[in-house]
Amino acid sequence: LDVMDGHFVPAITVGPPVAASIRKQTSLFIDAHLMVDKPEQQIEQFAGAGVNLITIQAEATAHLDRILREIKSFGIKAGVALNPATPICSLEYIWPLLDLVLVMSVNPGAGGQKFIPAVLPKIKAIAREIRMREADIELQVDGGINRETALSVIDAGATVLVAGSAIFCDSEGMALIRSMKDLAL
């Protein structure tokens, strides 16, 4: 669930009421990616809406550890997203708090962008760090994921792919989902 506030990124999308409405309709895992300024002001609302994971942008706050602890205090999973230009060292002091690292492979805020290949070394380095720490952390990649880019991010170590436009803007979206699942196996 992409959450955008019109400040951190130009677009505006959904908020906690929509997340709560979705929760009423499904027991599926709901991942809320907060692309917002001051994410700490929305944690309690999204937790109350029934999401299973809240991912915050590393660039949106100076207090990642504090916000991750708050997310976890609600008994839900916590993640951090890194924009393409954000260095991996941003994660150094928060590894023990993470359930997910999201590498943005486009600059956030708009769908349908082209994958930035320069993020592949970052994905590999994060995957290596997760293995070295023997941590139970998912490595998610979001942005420009399609048939052509899926294999390279899986090979780099991604465990979760976000392929919005490639699926929803293609008449063969379900076939794409099946082919990506096959690639991952």
User: Would you name the residues annotated as active-site residues?
Assistant: 2, 142
Contact criterion met (CB below 8 Å) for 64 and 80: yes
Strand partners for 35: 4
Q: How far apart are CA 15 and CA 23, in angstroms?
A: 13
112 phi-psi bin (left φ>0, alpha ψ -120 to 50, beta other)? left
Exposure of 26 in the CB half-sphere (CA atoms within 13 A): 9
Q: How far apart are CA 124 and CA 136, in angstroms?
A: 16
